[in-house]
Amino acid sequence: MKFKSISLALVAVLIISCKTEVKKTSNKKMEIAENIKEQSETEITPISHATTVLEFDDTIIYLDPTGGAEAFSDFENPDYVLITDIHGDHMNLKTLNALTLENATIIAPEAVAKEISAVKAKEVIVINNGEEKSFSNFDIEAIPMYNLREEALKFHSKGRGNGYVLTINDERIYFSGDTEDIPEMRSLENIDKAFVCMNLPYTMPVENAASGVLAFKPKQVYPYHYRGTNGLSDINKFKELVNKGDANIEVVQLNWYPNRN
């Protein structure tokens, strides 16, 4: 009986040791998972107005590149270039021709693709309103962008340009492009980050932008593309309106106009 008790004690020690080892291994796996999560986060850098750089999983996307090659001197060459519309603050031929795009895929609506046939890129993929495409590590959905106000209909007709929803590592990121608070924007779902334009006379006033955001309720909203003919829109007022309507929506203000006094 004494021998049996010692044996049982040894077994108990072994079981405890095994449990401890499993716990340690489990903790290690959790640490690795956290590291992977941190490495997979999307880094979004404002360049100017609508021009943006997204970096994730060793992938670089230039959105609506403008400002010449020097605007991207701190970044590697892009893997993808996304263009929303034909206007010069989105489709800038001088910048496209100055960039090194031989290994880049350009993603754009048909109206843009027709204008950039001479740009030296790996390929041009056309995506139009309502279409979805999948790539190796992200998905993209083309959202309509257009004007609603009678006096602004001449600027952006329905069906020509795209807003985009990018799904990257289970995060949904919306870039509005040049639009007003159209039904297609108001009905968006499960948006984590929303980049929403607001500049007159070309897109919409801050009141309409706030109303649109309160309709689809992203977790975070970033006012961008807010320079109009009379200067910069009042993004502080935009923040006030959004947070008055829903305090849970975080309004993030980035510096889209670094050279402006």
**What pTM was estimated for this model as a whole?**
0.83
127: Cβ contacts below 8 Å, ≥ 6 apart: 107, 108, 109, 133, 140, 142, 162
Q: What is the mean pLDDT of the segment spanning 180-194? A: 97
Q: What is the mean pLDDT of the segment spanning 22-34? A: 36
Task: Judge whether 174 and 191 are in contact, CB under 8 Å.
Answer: yes
Provide the pLDDT for residue 24.
35
Q: What is the mean pLDDT of the segment spanning 141-169? A: 91
Provide the pLDDT for residue 30.
38
Residue 14 burial (10 A CB sphere; 0-12, 13-18, 19+): exposed
Tokens read off for 197: 């334009």
Query: Residue 4 above 50 pLDDT?
Result: no
Give me the sign of the Cα torsion angle 80, 86, 90, 91: positive
Tokens read off for 250: 């975080």
- Continuous segment of H or E residues that includes residue 17: helix 2-40
At 212-261, the pLDDT tens digits run 999 999 999 999 999 988 899 999 999 999 999 999 999 999 999 987 64
- Domains in the chain: boundaries: 41-251
Q: Which of the residue ranges 18-22, 59-63, 154-158, 163-167 would you say has the lowest mean pLDDT?
A: 18-22
Provide the pLDDT for residue 260.
64
CA nearest neighbour of 190 among 133, 134, 131, 141: 141
Share the mean pLDDT of the chain.
Answer: 86
229: Cβ contacts below 8 Å, ≥ 6 apart: 200, 201
- 3-state class of 239 per DSSP? helix
d(CA 79, CA 57): 11
Provide the pLDDT for residue 18.
39
- 3-state class of 115 per DSSP? helix
Taking CA atoms, 190 is separated from 7, 52, 172, 222, in Å, by 58, 22, 7, 16
CATH code, residues 41-251: 3.60.15.10
DSSP class per residue in 120-146: --SEEEE--TT-EEE-SS-EEEEEEE-
d(CA 177, CA 23): 49
Tokens read off for 241: 């309106």
